[in-house]
């Protein structure tokens, strides 16, 4: 049985799920021994610990001296070193490996990629420990987002890749009638060809969830892939690349089809991104480097997810406490270190109507601060939800916010002691108040646990401000709370014009910064926060070309 046949049911179910957009997940999000095996938790932790203090070998070409760039936000002594490989050597090896990968055909490519995803799922505990230790995510998020949810995103990309490629016939007979004369008959063959070497640049906060879509979309459509992880979160990517390389070697294919480029030198990444052989670049991260890629990578298709100004409008609510609890969790989850986390909360200057009576704008801010305090009252809950702060730059921003540099401090950020990791950099959110005119405060992304309660003239002004913010600065998420249908319709139409996802009256266990594979369209590609949607066929369709050949069929 070939790999496609082995996983055909899984692939076809993923295609179906991506078309229906309902709930479906291929892999369990709960780290349960009943699902993953009784020894899976201990085996995964042991596998992670076996990497610590060791040189991570991949057997790639062009290896030189090793570097160990990762520093754990939890204070874990990582000490994992990675050989630095010559970028040109990696490109040369990738190009050489593509010929056999193309000959394999779309069906077997997708089957092999599906096998890789299944193998990654089996190593979810190991990967989760690696994600947690390098990014600062809490354990449950590290397991879910780093493991099953990321694997679902990989499978989602495979579903689109298979749907796009499988509709292209391998061969056709073309027959044109010629009246009384014999028809003209030709055989036409159609070959799916990858565009070239793909470069996938990882981010420091979600090194699998944000990397897998581009990695598997490019691979399944016939391209070699070089993964360039963020220097602060290399290990999850390294484990992933090793799994794929081992599988390729088992199948008699050149493992250099997928390689890891570890560097802490931006100029190396820039040279690789602009290399003539690199045909696509996937990137999640800062505006500055994302814009540099879009400007300079003229030879490649760039898929860039950048910073944005995510925000929520509050007009009115019939569930005031539930609204505040939902917003509090949104702001606290992974200390706001998510590309979808709300930064600005727009509140009419005259206040809002609620099921608990009228609330002034000042009261909304104070009550939201109290909701955050309630959520974080137990240290074990606080640490599980907040995780740890990934970068020094985010810590510096928190201090600036605490000092009132960008607005009146409603709630200051505090350091929280972690019961298991004494050196962990855990910080609670800081909540600031400012007016709509203070655009230099809230209309610049302040990545991390920093949010603004912004007073606006009224709801109409909030809707207009929302649309302008998205068009000018971009956003991945917008939320609204209102009991008035005319307000919901107005903000809905505004988000159509600004092309951003909208969440309405979230008061339950779903939050605006969460995105579900196979159902949610993560980014629209229609505003400055992202130039592509990461959950549709367009994300894969431009990664391959169809080359035809034709010849006459003898009478």
Tell me, letter by letter, the H, E, C secondary structure of 374-389.
Answer: HHCCCHHHHHHHHCCC
The β-bridge partners of 189 are 171, 549
pLDDT, position 350? 98
Q: Is the residue at 555 inside a domain?
A: no
pLDDT, position 231? 97
Q: Give the position of tokens 């590290």.
A: 142
CA atoms within 13 A on the CB side of 185: 7
**How are the residues of the chain apportioned to helix, strand and coil, as percentages rounded to the nearest 5?**
45, 20, 35
Query: Domain residues for 454?
Result: 311-504
pLDDT digits (tens, 9 = 90+) for 135-155: 999 999 999 999 999 999 999
Instruction: Please name which of 303, 97, 82 lies closest in space to residue 219, comparing C-alpha atoms.
Output: 97
pLDDT, position 307? 86
Q: Is the residue at 524 inside a domain?
A: no
Same domain, 158 and 265: yes
Q: Is the residue at 527 inside a domain?
A: no
Same domain, 99 and 210: yes
Q: What DSSP string describes 471-526?
A: HHH--SEEEEE-S-HHHHHHHHHHHHHHT-EEEES--SS--TT---TTTS----SS
Q: Is the residue at 25 inside a domain?
A: no
Q: Is the residue at 515 inside a domain?
A: no
Q: Are strands 430-435 and 408-411 parallel, antiparallel or unpaired?
A: antiparallel
Q: Is the residue at 460 inside a domain?
A: yes
Same domain, 344 and 284: no
pLDDT, position 555? 77
Same domain, 341 and 269: no
Are 456 and 349 contacting, i.e. CB atoms less than 8 angstroms apart? yes
**Residues contacting 99, CB < 8 A, separation 6+:** none
Statement: the pTM of the whole predicted model exceeds 0.75: yes
Instruction: Please name which of 315, 312, 277 lies closest in space to residue 297, comparing C-alpha atoms.
Output: 277
pLDDT, position 227? 98
pLDDT, position 107? 97
Counted domains in the chain:
2
Q: Is the residue at 279 inside a domain?
A: yes
pLDDT tens for the chain, residues 1 to 555:
799 999 999 999 999 999 999 999 999 999 999 999 999 999 999 999 999 999 999 999 899 999 999 999 999 999 999 999 999 999 999 999 999 999 999 999 999 999 999 999 999 999 999 999 999 999 999 999 999 999 999 999 999 999 999 999 999 999 999 999 999 999 999 999 999 999 999 999 999 999 999 999 999 999 999 999 999 999 999 999 999 999 999 999 999 999 999 999 999 999 999 999 999 999 999 999 999 999 999 999 999 999 899 999 999 999 999 999 999 999 999 999 999 999 999 999 999 999 999 999 999 999 999 999 999 999 999 999 999 999 999 999 999 999 999 999 999 999 999 999 999 999 999 999 999 999 999 999 999 999 999 999 999 999 999 999 999 999 999 999 999 999 999 999 999 999 999 999 999 999 999 999 999 999 999 999 999 999 889 999 999 999 999 999 987
Same domain, 278 and 138: yes
Q: Is the residue at 189 inside a domain?
A: yes
Same domain, 52 and 200: yes
Same domain, 75 and 199: yes
* Strands, sheet with 344-348, edge to edge from the N-terminal-most edge strand: 408-411, 430-435, 450-456, 344-348, 311-314, 477-481, 501-504
Are 295 and 476 contacting, i.e. CB atoms less than 8 angstroms apart? no
Instruction: Please name which of 97, 86, 92, 65 lies closest in space to residue 261, comparing C-alpha atoms.
Output: 86
Instruction: Please name which of 280, 277, 256, 259 lies closest in space to residue 97, comparing C-alpha atoms.
Output: 256
Alpha helices by DSSP H, listed for 87-147, are 87-104, 106-122, 124-135, 139-146
**Can you read off the two tokens belonging to residue 515?**
């995105």
Are 281 and 273 contacting, i.e. CB atoms less than 8 angstroms apart? yes
Are 432 and 403 contacting, i.e. CB atoms less than 8 angstroms apart? no
- For residue 66, the domain's CATH number is 3.40.605.10
pLDDT, position 535? 87
**Residues contacting 223, CB < 8 A, separation 6+:** 98, 194, 195, 196, 197, 198, 279, 280, 543, 544
């Amino acid at each position: 049985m070939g790999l496609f046949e082995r996983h055909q049911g899984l692939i076809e179910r993923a295609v179906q799920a991506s078309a229906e957009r309902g709930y479906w997940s291929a892999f369990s999000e709960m780290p349960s021994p009943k699902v993953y095996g009784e020894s899976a938790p201990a085996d995964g932790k042991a596998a992670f610990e076996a990497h610590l203090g060791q040189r991570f070998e991949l057997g790639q070409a062009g290896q030189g001296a090793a570097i160990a760039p990762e520093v754990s936000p939890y204070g874990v002594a990582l000490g994992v070193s990675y050989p630095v490989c010559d970028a040109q050597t990696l490109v040369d090896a990738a190009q050489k490996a593509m010929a056999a990968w193309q000959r394999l055909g779309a069906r077997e490519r997708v089957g092999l990629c599906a096998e890789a995803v299944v193998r990654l799922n089996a190593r979810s505990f190991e990967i989760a420990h690696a994600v947690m230790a390098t990014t600062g995510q809490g354990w449950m998020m590290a397991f879910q987002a780093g493991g099953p949810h990321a694997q679902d995103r990989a499978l989602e990309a495979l579903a689109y890749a298979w749907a796009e490629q499988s509709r292209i016939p391998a061969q056709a007979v073309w027959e044109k009638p010629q009246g009384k004369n014999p028809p003209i008959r030709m055989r036409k063959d159609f070959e799916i060809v990858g565009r070239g070497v793909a470069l996938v640049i990882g981010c420091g906060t979600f090194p699998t969830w944000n990397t897998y879509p581009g990695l598997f979309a490019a691979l399944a459509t016939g391209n070699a892939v070089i993964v360039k992880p963020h220097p602060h979160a290399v290990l999850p990517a390294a484990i992933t690349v090793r799994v794929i390389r081992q599988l390729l070697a088992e199948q008699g294919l050149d493992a250099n089809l997928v390689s890891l480029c570890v560097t802490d030198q931006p100029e190396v990444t820039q040279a690789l991104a602009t290399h003539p052989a690199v045909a696509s670049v996937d990137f999640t991260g800062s505006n500055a480097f994302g814009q540099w890629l879009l400007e300079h990578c003229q030879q490649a298709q760039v898929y860039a997810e950048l910073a944005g100004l995510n925000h929520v409008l509050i007009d009115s609510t019939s569930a005031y406490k539930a609204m505040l609890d939902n917003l509090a969790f949104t702001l606290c989850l992974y200390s706001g270190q998510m590309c979808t986390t709300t930064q600005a909360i727009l509140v009419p200057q005259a206040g809002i109507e609620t099921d608990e009576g009228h609330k002034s704008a000042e009261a909304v801010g104070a009550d939201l601060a109290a909701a955050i305090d309630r959520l974080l009252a137990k240290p074990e809950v606080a640490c599980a939800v907040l995780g740890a702060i990934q970068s020094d730059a985010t810590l510096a921003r928190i201090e600036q916010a605490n000092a009132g540099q960008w607005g009146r401090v409603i709630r200051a950020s505090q350091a929280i002691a972690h019961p298991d990791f004494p050196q962990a950099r855990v910080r609670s959110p800081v909540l600031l108040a400012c007016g709509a005119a203070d655009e230099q405060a809230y209309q610049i992304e302040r990545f991390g646990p920093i949010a603004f309660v912004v007073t606006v003239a009224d709801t109409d002004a909030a809707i207009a401000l929302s649309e302008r913010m998205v068009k000018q600065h971009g956003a991945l998420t917008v939320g609204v709370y209102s009991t008035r249908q005319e307000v919901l319709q107005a903000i809905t139409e505004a988000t159509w014009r600004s092309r951003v996802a909208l969440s309405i009256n979230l008061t339950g266990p779903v939050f605006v910064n969460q995105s579900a594979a196979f159902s949610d369209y993560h980014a629209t590609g229609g505003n400055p926060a992202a130039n592509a949607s990461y959950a549709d066929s367009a994300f894969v369709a431009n990664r391959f070309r169809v080359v035809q050949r034709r010849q006459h069929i003898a009478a």
